[in-house]
Amino acid sequence: MSRVNTSRALLLLRQARRPGRLGWTDILAYGYLALGVVLMFGPVLWLVLSSLKTPAALLEFPPSFLPLTQKTISVPGHAQPLELHRVRLPDGSVKELAQVRRIGIQATMIDPASPGGPVIRVPIEAREPVREVAFAWSNYTEPLKQFAFGRYFANSLVVTIVATLITLLINSMAAYALAIYEFRGRNAALLMVIGTLMIPITIVLVPVFLVVTQLGLNNSLWAVILPGAATPTGVFLLRQYMLTLPRDLIEAARMDKASEWQIYSRIVMPLTLPALAVLAIFSIMWRWNEFLWPLAVLTKSEVYTLQIGLNAFQGELQTQWHYLLAMTVMTLAPVALVFVFLQRFITTGIANTGMK
Amino acid sequence: MAGLVLKGIAKSFGPVEVLRGIDLEVANGEFVVFVGPSGCGKSTLLRVIAGLEEVTSGTILIDGQDVTAERAAERGLAMVFQSYALYPHMSVYRNIAFALENMRLPREEIEARVRRAATMLRLTDYLDRKPGALSGGQRQRVAIGRAVVRDPKIFLFDEPLSNLDAELRVATRKELAGLHAEIGGTMIYVTHDQVEAMTLANRIVVLNKGRIEQVGTPLELYNRPANLFVAGFIGSPRMNLISGRVGPDGHFEMPGGALAQSGPFLPAGLAPGAEITLGIRPEHVLPAGGEAPDAILTVDLVEQLGSESYLYGTLPGGAALTLRSPLEDPARRGESLPVRFERHRLHVFDAAGLALRP
């Protein structure tokens, strides 16, 4: 199975315009694609690797790509593990020695191979720390213990799922009305819906906040779920898709005595599934990553969503970057998984529309 | 089953008049075919009857009840679409059962009706399949099954055979005729194919530019077309139409010369010099044989169909003429063939295109 996949991947990588020959266009194409991969995945990889660095390694300059730490060694006769350094000795030889202490520009070293041996004094510029790759998993385990990750995660999950379901329902009904149901003023309604696309959230933030406060929804998850449930983008996306459904199907359903609700629920909705899947992915990503609005209406930590919770690591005076990065990775993972599982729906249409 | 009455139906899409005052009565159990060239309004008329389009003016009565204001679902009609319009996400069974479910019939009754329709249309083995897994002919039968199962007042067919290949079309045509004989419903059928119209219809309605040109049984239209349009539209190859005038001696004068002894077959009361058009079907033009020829045809093209042949040629005056011959090899291209017109089969049309009867 895995061998088959490997050979297929190799086959994919060996694709060229003319089979068996790598022309300059192929090289350009692969170079462009490689650049794209670096641009897309570079920051994510950087984030993941950085999330495994100790605070000291994070502040290091120049930064290292891999999470590196000073290698230490336990030497009999010393209670603490000692830092291991590579030292250039006066005779020109290079040796790995453990540092006992350092005073000023002088370091006192000891050979870990012979702990009872003589103490060696070297100037600090003659030594270089020995480093090894070490993952600071504590960046993950510590905040999971202290930080209420589980609660924030659950809140985010509730907001995302409930809001996405409501969004799909409301948007598809609106799209049905604007695409299929015939009524006076349909185009005017469509223009108004699309017009709201041009109003950024920052403009309506205060009025919506006032409405939510009047309704007494502050500090409840509904305050995050409800205001954004109907999205003009979603309505427009679904409407455009529904317009491509064959008109005959709708008319056949009308002849078959189906009510508008039945046409919507039994004919149009199943046929709109590809577009619904796309909207679901968008909605999940929007809702999961939403920051500004939840920050405005959620002030108690028990209703925080993950994004607001992460904000807690960012203090006025200092930021706990190692925790922030680790929890950001934790926050990204679910959306990435959703995308991996749902993305095939984006490309899958309904192969056969049943016409002709 | 029900009768249908259309009174003064007119339909415009903006400034475009598609139907201009259609009056028609369809009796209970009748098979009526709307036929006409593309854009004549036949499909629009069907959609108006179905309730999928609103009329601009006029009245529609079904079983004596005014249904003009009723929506498609309330009229109790069933329609078979040109594209079949099967619901692609439903199995054949659910496609056929959909309307019955909407009528809230009990489950057992739905099951029984679907099975009955499936048996009649030989779909029993395909009930679990999706439409995408069916052939064109099978999809066509599902679409018909979806109409039949509802037991509608009137069946409406919108060019249902136009997506089938020639062989399947002939087979399905026979099945439709058999279906009508079996269930006896009122059926209205739209087609641009006059062979379908001739073979299926009890009565044919010929439409042109939003008006009814003639209504009648297939043979009435064939033998007694009311005007030039119907004369040219019904029959394949089309009727020969030769323009000319009434000569001073009362005989027909065509561009190449007078048609001898044609006077008695022209309608009475035609003044000499009147512009008329003479029509004669290809099977009524005969090789002269030993008799005096009416004209000499120069053969331009010979179509050999095996059982018969068609000769396409030109008369001395330049008029085109088609002739049907029962012979396999009646003439060669470029040959001159003396021909004779069967006098009692002549059709005469006046300058306005209306048929004149002797």
B128-181: pLDDT as tens digits: 999 989 988 899 999 999 999 988 999 999 999 888 888 888 888 998 899 899
**Category of A315 on φ-ψ map: left (φ > 0), alpha (ψ -120 to 50) or beta:** beta
Task: Provide, as residue numbers in chain B, all residues whose Cβ is less than 8 Å from the Cβ of A259.
Answer: 73, 102
Average pLDDT over residues B205-227: 94
Q: Does A253 touch chain B (CB under 8 A)?
A: yes
Percent of chain B whose predicted confidence (pLDDT) is above 90: 55
Query: In this predicted complex, what is the ipTM?
Result: 0.84
* CA atoms within 13 Å, Cβ hemisphere of B113: 22
So what's the pLDDT on residue A349?
43
Secondary structure letter of residue B74 according to DSSP: G
Would you write out chain A's pLDDT as a tens digit for each of its 356 residues?
Answer: 445 556 666 666 667 767 767 788 888 999 999 999 999 999 999 999 888 888 878 887 778 888 887 788 888 878 888 888 888 888 878 888 888 888 888 888 888 877 777 888 888 888 888 888 888 888 888 887 877 888 888 999 999 999 999 999 999 999 999 999 888 999 999 999 989 888 887 888 899 999 999 999 888 999 999 988 888 989 999 999 999 999 999 999 999 999 999 999 999 999 998 888 888 888 988 899 888 899 889 888 889 998 888 887 777 777 788 888 888 888 888 888 887 877 676 655 433 333 33
Strand pairing report for B336-341 and B285-287? antiparallel
> Which fold would CATH assign to domain A140-347?
MetI-like fold (1.10.3720)
Work out the mean pLDDT of chain B and round it to a whole number: 89
Beta carbons of B89 and A350 less than 8 Å apart: yes
Task: Provide, as residue numbers in chain A, all residues whose Cβ is less than 8 Å from the Cβ of B72.
Answer: 251, 254-255
Q: Cα separation of A39 and A33, whole Å?
A: 10
Q: Name which residue leads in pLDDT, A170 or B247.
A: A170
pTM for the predicted model, two decimal places: 0.78
B40-88: pLDDT as tens digits: 999 999 999 999 999 999 999 999 899 999 988 889 899 999 999 999 9
So what's the pLDDT on residue A11?
67
A341: distance to nearest CA of chain B, Å?
22
Q: Where are the domains of chain A?
A: 14-50, 68-133, 140-347
For B238-256, give one letter per residue: b (16+ CB within 10 A) or e: ebbbbebbbbeeebbbbeb
Average pLDDT over residues B228-245: 90
Beta carbons of A255 and B132 less than 8 Å apart: no
Which among B77, B103, B163 has the least Cβ separation from residue A356? B163
Secondary structure letter of residue B347 according to DSSP: E
Residue B29: count of CB within 10 angstroms of its CB: 15
Q: How far is CA B77 from CA A8, A335, B81, B82, in A?
A: 56, 50, 13, 16
Beta carbons of B73 and A255 less than 8 Å apart: yes
Average pLDDT over residues B108-112: 94
Task: Provide, as residue numbers in chain B, all residues whose Cβ is less than 8 Å from the Cβ of A352.
Answer: 88, 130-132
Percent of chain B whose predicted confidence (pLDDT) is above 70: 99
Task: Provide, as residue numbers in chain B, all residues whose Cβ is less than 8 Å from the Cβ of A246.
Answer: 83, 85
Residue whose C-alpha is closest to residue B64's, from B155, B2, B7, B151: B2
So what's the pLDDT on residue A354?
37
So what's the pLDDT on residue A345?
67
B259-287: pLDDT as tens digits: 777 767 778 778 888 888 989 999 999 88
Q: Cα separation of B39 and B16, whole Å?
A: 12
A149-206: pLDDT as tens digits: 888 889 999 999 999 999 999 999 999 999 998 889 999 999 999 898 888 878 888 9
All structural domains of chain B, each given as residue ranges with its CATH number in brackets, are 4-226 (3.40.50.300), 237-356 (2.40.50.140)
